Structure 1
Amino acid sequence: MKRIFFPLLLLLTLLPSAVSAQDEGEVLQRSLQQEHQKADEREMKVRELTRKAGQISTRLSDIEDDIKFLKRKIRSQEKILAKIKEDEHKARQDHFALEKEKQRISMELSGLMQTLWPVHLQNVRAKFEGIESWDMFDRRFNWLADIYKATSGKLEEAKVNSERISRNLERQRLLEKEAEDQLVQINRSKDHLLGNKYALRKNLNKIRKQRSTAESDLSEILVTIEELKYQLQSQKTKRFSLYKRSLPWPVDGKLVSGFNLRANPPIRGLAISTAQGADVRSVFWGKVVHNDTLRGFGHVVILYHGFDYYSLYAYLAETHVRNGQEVEKDEPLGVVGFYPKVDGPGLYFELRFHQKPINPKLWLTSLK
């Protein structure tokens, strides 16, 4: 009886703790499921924001291309207008020359008429009286014929001159109309260009504001981390400042834009275009102090390397690390995602000392 009673008693004693452990396991499982669900929702939100950023980047690129096209079009239109103006000027000069020619012809014709008309009247009245010989008649006849011929020639010349003046005035009218039409086209192109410039300026100001806000958010994060005064195990043997020009690249790819604080807006890191699904690796031993979305940077991992040095890896599609985790040099941190700057898969990478960005090109092994 005692042998049966003791195991039963022991079972009853252990049963509550077993049930309690099972309940705790279920609670933990539910909590993990909730966290995974939150992570998935956050990831979907990041992807959507990244997609929208890509659309904005594409729109800006389209506007910039349109502005370049319009500038070329306006230059071409203005060249045409300049040629029309040049033709107009030449037509006016030709008109002045024709008018001068007309005055000359009129004066010469007037002189001929003044000579011819009295003789003609005299001959009509006298019916060639006073002509003493045939030679005299022949000489007068030939003289009058020459004057008539010269007068007829001048009248024909005056007629041609008048026709040329008429054609010249019509050409001036057509050129003036063509110049007006061309000017209308130029102004339309300039209106379109002005609208695109306003749109580009508005979008750029919006993006600059977002960048400024993003930079402010990042600085606040780094200040918070710095205030914690992390002490890393790796600091005892590995000091970041001693590895200048020997750090590995965080990802295999092509460098699209480099560090340039004088640019507008300033470029504080490296933009690297990569293959789809490329692995992102730590450039140095450190601790994960941020693994979450950051406005303006997509999903970001920030590593603290000790002695106030940080590295930042932005626009990640997924990560393999967690906050607080210490990582090795070359350890995989995650996978690249869509990076609007390169219009495809890529990584934005920064190095910082305190909150100040430093040029990664001076720290990595060699330029891409």
Structure 2
Amino acid sequence: MKPYVLMAALIAGASHAAPPASAALSTAPHQQDLKSVRKEIDTLKKDIAQKQAVQKEAQSAIKESEQAISQTTQALVKLEKKQSSSEQQLEALRAQINASRNSLAAVRQRVGQMLARQYKSGQHDAMKLMMNANDPNQSARDLAYYQHIARAQQQLVAQLITHQHELEALSFQLEQELARLNSLSNRKSQEKSSLQQDKASQQQELNKVTGEIKTGQSKLSQLQENEKRLTGLIAQINREIQRRRAEIARKAAEERKAKLAAAREAARKENERRRKLAENAKKQGKPVPEEAKQTVTVKEEAITDVADDSAAGRAFVSLQGRMKMPVAGQLVGRFGKPRQQGVSWKGVFIQTANGTPVRSVADGTVVFADQLRGFGNAILVDHGGNYMTVYTGLSVIGKSVGGSVKAGDTIGNTGTLDSGESGLYFEIRHMGRPLNPQAWAR
């Protein structure tokens, strides 16, 4: 099954309701699915971009083909006009040639007839004309007239022959030009046909790529919607995980508080019993029992689980309900409880021996490493996500500003606060607001 189809089924089956409180929650499989979806989205975007480049090239090629076809069509129109004009001229010339041939034939016929009569009459025509004429002058004039006509007819024949040759030469030239135009027109027609085939092929390729782009964009839209839903599902699961962790931490804190209150009440009752036992012994004149001489004290909560590299590489927010404290010792100052100076603790104070290593509770960057008025030597670590931890009362500062730290790294040693309290004062802040460290510790 395709990743995006799997995601859609997963999201549809998950619904938008919060999982049951008893169900085990993890975003790991969903994160992996989200990673797969995003990878497929990136691949699809690249594929669409490549196809869009091909689409653009195909559109450009089609435009060039259309321009070439248009130019070829215009050239064919001009050639057809020239062909038509040449054909008309050729037809007119052929008509002139035919008329010239007819005229030449008629003249040749008349000349032939005249020559035939002369041949039959012999060389005595002129003499007969002279002898038979009553007027010699008239006879001379008639003879000259006949000679003039004969020469004129001969010249006309020669002119007609010359004119016919010129017409035939011009006709040949027109036929050659017409043949050239026909050949050029055929080539242009073939060129146009080839261009149209190329355009059809390019259009087919464009239609194919356009269809693939449309399909890819539709799939991309679906993947992006699945990514959005899956991201929302992961956020919902994370919120539920944080809520459960906070609830577990709250219950654990309440249990610790209840146990401590019960232990204090039991100690108070036991001390009251021992006080009365001592009073009764005195009233009766008896020695005070050793038991009555001692006061029962309640030890504050002991911290034994110290930060180590198990939290390395994890987001700080994911540590809520699982965080380990930076040092081992007795928890004598609680979040929100009053201090000796009349103010309340904004973190926790852990009583421990001087020189005890202080460890970073999570990965981060040191943003302060110097004396802090009222708290002695201090280190502030930025963990990202607007989370910061504060370590004060240090005898030794082991990191400098700008240095990176990993969960479990030693960042200094315990000392005393300016107030004289021996141990480590520890705060957690989010966007500058103090948070109860015990709500984060397990």
TM-score when scaled to structure 2? 0.43
1:114 is aligned to 2:88 = no
Q: 2:39 aligns with which of 56, 66, 69?
A: 69
Map 1:24-39; keep pairs closer than 5 Å. Answer: none
Give, in whole Å, the separation in 2 of the partners of 1:138 and 1:270: 112
What percentage of aligned pairs have identical amino acids?
7
Q: 1:85 aligns with which of 47, 55, 59?
A: 55
How far 1:69 sits from its partner (Å)? 0.8
* Count of equivalent residues: 243
Cα separation, partners in 2 of 1:271 and 1:172, compared to 1, 3 Å: farther
- Contact 1:99-1:165 at 8 Å conserved across structures: yes
How far 1:156 sits from its partner (Å)? 1.6
Q: 2:330 aligns with which of 280, 286, 295?
A: 286
How far 1:113 sits from its partner (Å)? 2.1
Give, in whole Å, the separation in 2 of the partners of 1:221 and 1:123: 119
Q: 1:188 aligns with which of 183, 207, 219?
A: 219
How far 1:201 sits from its partner (Å)? 1.9
Cα separation, partners in 2 of 1:252 and 1:182, compared to 1, 3 Å: closer
Aligned amino acid, residue 186 of structure 2:
L
1:156 paired residue number: 187
2:30 paired residue number: 60
- After superposition, the C-alpha distances for 1:128-178 in whole angstroms (9 at most, x for unaligned) are 554616455334422431243023202321221122113202320232123
1:43 paired residue number: none
1:177 is aligned to 2:234 = no
How far 1:267 sits from its partner (Å)? 5.7
Map 1:265-344; keep pairs closer than 5 Å. Answer: 266=317, 283-287=327-331, 309-310=347-348
How far 1:251 sits from its partner (Å)? 1.4
SS state of the match for residue 172, structure 1?
helix
1:204 paired residue number: 235
2:169 paired residue number: 138
Aligned amino acid, residue 360 of structure 1:
T
Cα separation, partners in 2 of 1:251 and 1:195, compared to 1, 3 Å: same
Q: 1:97 aligns with which of 67, 71, 87?
A: 67
Give, in whole Å, the separation in 1 of the partners of 2:225 and 2:39: 13
How far 1:59 sits from its partner (Å)? 0.7
Cα separation, partners in 2 of 1:252 and 1:99, compared to 1, 3 Å: closer
- After superposition, the C-alpha distances for 1:231-287 in whole angstroms (9 at most, x for unaligned) are 98689xxxx9xxxxxxx972146731454xxxxxx5666999xxxxxxx88614125
Give, in whole Å, the separation in 2 of the partners of 1:328 and 1:284: 9
1:250 is aligned to 2:294 = no
- After superposition, the C-alpha distances for 1:90-111 in whole angstroms (9 at most, x for unaligned) are 1331243034213312321232
SS state of the match for residue 40, structure 2?
helix
Root-mean-square deviation (Å): 4.8
- Contact 2:27-2:237 at 8 Å conserved across structures: no
- Contact 2:41-2:224 at 8 Å conserved across structures: yes
Taking CA–CA contacts closer than 8 Å with sequence separation of 6 or more, which of the two structures ends up with the larger relative contact order? 1
Q: Higher mean Cα deviation, 154-163 or 133-142?
A: 133-142
Cα separation, partners in 2 of 1:63 and 1:329, compared to 1, 3 Å: farther
- Contact 2:55-2:210 at 8 Å conserved across structures: yes
- After superposition, the C-alpha distances for 1:267-313 in whole angstroms (9 at most, x for unaligned) are 666999xxxxxxx886141259xxxxxxxxxxxxxxx9x9574599x
How far 1:189 sits from its partner (Å)? 4.3
1:359 paired residue number: 388
- Contact 1:281-1:330 at 8 Å conserved across structures: no
Cα separation, partners in 2 of 1:217 and 1:175, compared to 1, 3 Å: same
Give, in whole Å, the separation in 2 of the partners of 1:362 and 1:74: 49
Aligned amino acid, residue 235 of structure 2:
L
Give, in whole Å, the separation in 1 of the partners of 2:247 and 2:354: 28
Aligned amino acid, residue 55 of structure 2:
K
- Contact 1:250-1:281 at 8 Å conserved across structures: yes
Aligned amino acid, residue 152 of structure 1:
S
Gaps of 5+ in 1: 1-48, 241-247, 260-265, 273-279, 289-303, 313-325, 332-350, 352-356
Give, in whole Å, the separation in 2 of the partners of 1:284 and 1:258: 23
How far 1:70 sits from its partner (Å)? 1.7
Give, in whole Å, the separation in 2 of the partners of 1:192 and 1:311: 51
Give, in whole Å, the separation in 2 of the partners of 1:311 and 1:140: 121
